[in-house]
Structure 1
Amino acid sequence: MSLKAVTVSATMTEKAKKRYPGESKGFVEEMKFVAMKLHTKQQAKEGEKEISQPEERSVVKWKPTTEGYLRFLVDSKLVYDALENIVYDAAYSYYAEFRSTGLERSASLAKDLEWFREQGHPIPEPSSPGLTYAQYLKELSVKDPQAFICHFYNIYFAHSAGGRMVGKKVAEKILNNKVLEFYKWDGQLSQMLQGVRDKLDKVSEGWTREEKNRCLEETEKSFRLSGEVLRLILVS
């Protein structure tokens, strides 16, 4: 091979590496990189997205309502119900790897909704954002497992980070600092998250680059659908 050919080959290899930031550390790092770029600067220092929706502002500027928060919790439960049922039914064998991770939220949300009911708050019916997202996850999990894994990762990991901040600030404003079960985990959360990271990296080892890219490309839709559910907190 000529020196020129070697140089061209090396340059192409270098460009390929630059296309997938985080690749050397595992696929979860790739997903994290793409996800962080879709935050706004108010949400994360790595964020690049311009603010276009009210929930994309800093949570300290939010004006939540109890009614809106209940709608958010009801619709969130629909989404987590879908996720937990999907991995339990396991249309693809590796979905079973994500059962009983400790990150499950459906039972916790059921307890929170019961607490609100006991306080005299009427529990609303599920609304379009949650119904739409749950149905989309069910369909996606069968026809496009790589894209589904993108949603699985972003939903659970976002809740463990920014989601907890949202819960804390909302509690300060409308719940007298009560910490809901939604924001509590049995055991060390960091260990649970690491366990899921390891499983995600292991599962994705068998994917082609095309399949990995399809997963990454789904991130924007994951953010959009999750954002529509989150926005319910601000509905009066």
Structure 2
Amino acid sequence: MSVVIVNATTTEKPKERYPDDQKGFVDELRSVAMKLHTKAQAKEGERESESPQDQPMAKWEPTMNGYLRYLVDSKLVYDTLERIVNEAPVPFYGELENTGLERSERLGKDLEWFKQQGYTLPEPSSAGVEYSGYLEELPEKDPQAFICHFYDVYFGHSAGGRLLGKRVAEKILNNKELEFYKWDDDLSLLIQNAKEKLNKVSEGWTREEKNRCLQETEKSLKHFGEIIRLVIT
């Protein structure tokens, strides 16, 4: 899944995008997310292009200040997600511990590296603070919605996030690969393992609960899209 920024004024009804039952619930999550891309971003995309951020990532022109803001906000979001999963206020969150996709620790190392290079790290922006605060509201009152955010953030970084990192490295980091874009094990295997865990988590859900999870996709992509937008500001 590539990175997509969703405009807050989107008016499509999510229920119209629900696919029929496929190989597993993660396939449904992916299908709904991909349709929220533009056609320039993905062949399955159905959304009209509305802003410069809708351009293919190869055309993005990142700034160092914007990229640092993106990394700081991303760290806040991953800190929040990983703490909630580890605390497991809902029992099935425990299934998602130690997937190998966790990013908080690695982001911490990257931010420390930037400080050693003489950069002053910014405070989290309103986008990161608002998204983290929203995630804090979900764990117990809306666990299906939380799972949607978990999927979109981690799986999105494994695809579009890596492309973003490559573009930034080429343009402003002299091709340095940050820890944010490294995993201890084969990424494809980690993704497959996490996919199986998410499918297992959703096995006991009703169709209504699954639909509730899918409904959250637009909000999830919008929130993290606002953080991604920082890269080119």
Aligned to 2:43: 45
Q: How does 1:8-87 map to 2 (within 5 A)?
A: 20-21=18-19, 23-87=21-85
Runs of 5+ consecutive residues of structure 2 not aligned to the other structure: 1-15
> How far has the Cα of 1:53 moved from its partner?
3.3
Greater relative contact order: 1 or 2 (C-alpha under 8 angstroms, separation 6 or more)?
Answer: 2
> How far has the Cα of 1:25 moved from its partner?
0.5
Distance 1:119 1:24 in 2: 48
Distance 2:39 2:71 in 1: 26
Higher helix residue share: 1
Asked whether the equivalents of residues 35 and 47 of structure 2 are also in contact (C-alpha less than 8 Å), the reply is yes
Q: Which moved more, 1:51-60 or 1:76-85?
A: 51-60
> How far has the Cα of 1:24 moved from its partner?
2.8
TM-score of the aligned structures, taking structure 2 as reference length? 0.91
Asked whether the equivalents of residues 69 and 122 of structure 2 are also in contact (C-alpha less than 8 Å), the reply is yes
Q: Which amino acid aligns with 2:63?
A: T
Asked whether the equivalents of residues 85 and 96 of structure 2 are also in contact (C-alpha less than 8 Å), the reply is yes
Aligned to 1:138: 136
Percent of aligned pairs sharing the same letter: 64
Distance 2:18 2:177 in 1: 38
Q: Which amino acid aligns with 2:101?
A: L
Q: Are residues 1:199 and 2:207 paired?
A: no
Aligned to 2:13: none
TM-score of the aligned structures, taking structure 1 as reference length? 0.90
Aligned to 2:163: 165
Runs of 5+ consecutive residues of structure 1 not aligned to the other structure: 1-17
Q: Which amino acid aligns with 1:57?
A: Q
Q: Which amino acid aligns with 1:24?
A: Q
Aligned to 2:6: none
Asked whether the equivalents of residues 22 and 33 of structure 1 are also in contact (C-alpha less than 8 Å), the reply is no
Q: Which amino acid aligns with 2:108?
A: A
Stretches (4+) displaced over 3 A: none
